[in-house]
Amino acid sequence: MSLRTSSTNQNRLALLDLQRTQERLAQNTTRISSGNRITSLGDDPTASASILDLSNSIGANTKFSQQADASLAFLQSSEDAVSAAINDTMRLMELSANGSSASDAELDAIRSNLISLANTQSQGKYLFSGTNTQTPPFSNTEPVTYLGNQGAINLNVTAGTMVATNVPGDTVFLGSPGAAPGPTNHTDIFQAITNLKSVFDGNPAAGVTIQSVSADLNAILANLNKVQADLGGRQAGLNDLKNTLSATNLTLTGVQTNLQATDYPAAYTQYTADQTIQSATLSTMAKNNQSNLFNYLT
């Protein structure tokens, strides 16, 4: 009777060993087939927490990179408009230097193009309206009036960094924030065209000469070049940031992969060893069962 009790206990222990061995076999089978060392949080709580932290960091960096892309789209469109305005200004300077060779039709065409550039839209938003992105920033009147504001549209591109994605239109086309249009504003590009036409038509306002218009155009060009440089600098900074975020995510992904990836040599070794243990356990249990039956019959 005692022999049968001892054998029963042995079978129970063998069954527990067999269960643990089969669990390890199943776990290593999953690791080998999936390539993931950690199949549940309990496999390695410390590594699991690190993997979650890395995933959160990678996700945040990806979001910041997307924000940078959105910022770049608006800044590039703004720079394109400013670049075109620079070309128009240089043409106005040529016309002022050539004197009466300019026609009203060409000056009107340049003015119309500049109004269009000043009212440029991107993704359904007016680029030069400040924060009033649904309002056309410039009226097509004489004098041209700025209808936007000086508000900055900022986007977060890192946890502690914001980048302004816009330049208020009065800064670009009137020369400075809050600048009033009209003859007293020497960096108002629209007024410069009006003054140039009046000189060519022989009916300039008091104090307006070809020399004063040329000086104003020089100031306008300098302002536009400054705005263009500012927009280009912001884009360069954002591109550098994107490269940094991409490199950081590549590094974090590598660390995450090393923590998560299956160690195939170790997994195969453990799998083979457990198969051997399983076979030995089953063999031992079979012998014990035969012994129990013999003892019972005798």
CA separation for the pair 112, 110 (Å, rounded): 5
Hey, is 144 helix, strand or coil? coil
CA separation for the pair 29, 22 (Å, rounded): 10
pTM above 0.85, yes or no: no
Which tokens go with 114? 């500049």
Query: Do the beta carbons of residue 174 and residue 186 sit within 8 Å?
Result: no
End-to-end CA distance of the chain: 11
Q: For residue 142, how many other CB atoms are within 10 A of its CB?
A: 11
CA separation for the pair 202, 67 (Å, rounded): 53
Instruction: Write out the H or E segment, with its range, that includes residue 81.
Output: helix 45-98
Q: What is the pLDDT of residue 158?
A: 82
CA separation for the pair 36, 262 (Å, rounded): 5
CA separation for the pair 141, 56 (Å, rounded): 53
Q: What is the pLDDT of residue 3?
A: 46
Per residue of the chain (298 residues), give pLDDT as tens.
444 555 666 667 767 766 777 666 666 676 666 666 677 666 778 888 888 899 999 999 999 999 999 999 999 999 999 999 999 999 999 999 987 667 889 999 999 999 999 999 998 999 999 999 999 999 999 889 999 999 999 988 888 888 899 999 999 999 877 777 766 778 999 999 999 999 998 889 888 999 999 999 999 999 999 999 999 999 999 999 999 999 999 999 999 888 876 655 665 576 577 667 767 777 766 666 665 544 544 4
Which tokens go with 53? 């932290």
Query: Do the beta carbons of residue 297 and residue 26 sit within 8 Å?
Result: no
**What Å distances lie between residue 219 and 111, 155, 189, CA to CA?**
17, 31, 10
141 alpha carbon, distance to own chain's centre: 39
CA separation for the pair 26, 41 (Å, rounded): 16
Q: What is the pLDDT of residue 6?
A: 58
CA separation for the pair 229, 32 (Å, rounded): 55
- Of the candidates 125, 177, 121, 119, the one whose C-alpha atom is nearest the C-alpha of residue 144 is 119
Location of structure tokens 């009036």? 145
CA separation for the pair 193, 101 (Å, rounded): 15
96 alpha carbon, distance to own chain's centre: 44
Query: Do the beta carbons of residue 223 and residue 169 sit within 8 Å?
Result: no
Query: Which residues sit opposite 121 in a β-bridge?
Result: 126
CA separation for the pair 164, 6 (Å, rounded): 80
Q: What is the pLDDT of residue 24?
A: 65
